[in-house]
Amino acid sequence: MKIQNLKENRQNIYLYPLIAAVILRLAEIPFISTSTAALMEYGTIARNMLSGAGYAFTWYHADGSFVILPTAYMPPGQVLIQYAVLSLVGNNSTAVLALYSIQIVQSGAFIYMLGKIKDALFKSRNATMVTIWLAAIYPPFIYLTMNFGVTSSALLLNALVLYIGILFSEALRSEKKQMKYALLMGVSCGLMLLFRGEEPSIILMTL
């Protein structure tokens, strides 16, 4: 019973920070650009895919002319997210708001993962509570939700890789569920590579 109550208490500490995080990020909506230009190079490649040009980027010349060429300019993860939204909603301000909603969800998941990492490392309810509250109200974390680049996705996946790495390390020590966490580690690292090409070096430094 005590163990069950402890688990419930640890889960309950996430509720108010997550509510605060969502409210603060919704309050940003009047300040975000709803122009599809805000989607940056990821949106450019996604729009070219929708137009039939394939995975291509639009390059502009000094005279104002442009050429659309196949590119490996950006990993496909963020492009595919924007492609899916643009294909469903259209190339308009509604798509930008839909993507912003996705990034709010990503920020909530990131805050939750930070709490899980803290709890896994220190097993302290107070330390976990401080961590998730700081992540919820930390101004740079709030601001980055307004950026339609790869940051929201990369932060979430970095936290996921680190958390699974901790679980994998514990599994290696206890010799239990090693295969499960080895597979999860591989999958999470693979997902991360879809968003950041330099991720192998980040993963090595993290672990």
pLDDT digits (tens, 9 = 90+) for 177-187: 788 888 998 89
Lowest mean pLDDT among 45-49, 71-75, 124-128, 157-161: 71-75
Position 15 scores a pLDDT of 94
pTM of the full predicted structure?
A: 0.88
If we measure between CA atoms, which residue out of 192, 190, 129, 120 comes closest to residue 155?
Answer: 192
* Nearest-5° Cα angle at 187, 183 to 188: 115
Which string of b and e fits 27-49 if b means at least 16 CB within 10 Å? Answer: eeeeebeeebebbbbbbbbbbbb
**Token couple for 133:** 């509250």
pLDDT tier at 117, thresholds 50, 70, 90: very high
Which value, to the nearest 10 degrees, does the dihedral of the CA atoms of residues 136, 144, 49, 160 take? Answer: -50
Residue 67: DSSP 8-state: E
| DSSP H/E element including 5 | helix 2-12
**Bridge partners, residue 58, by sequence:** 68
Q: Does residue 99 have a pLDDT over 70?
A: yes
Position 167 scores a pLDDT of 92
- Cβ(81)–Cβ(38) below 8 Å: no
Q: Does residue 206 have a pLDDT over 70?
A: no
Average pLDDT value over all residues in the chain: 89
Position 74 scores a pLDDT of 84
Between CA 130 and CA 125 the distance in angstroms is 9
Q: Does residue 143 have a pLDDT over 70?
A: yes
CA atoms within 13 A on the CB side of 112: 15
| % residues pLDDT > 90 (the chain) | 69
pLDDT tier at 101, thresholds 50, 70, 90: very high
Position 11 scores a pLDDT of 61
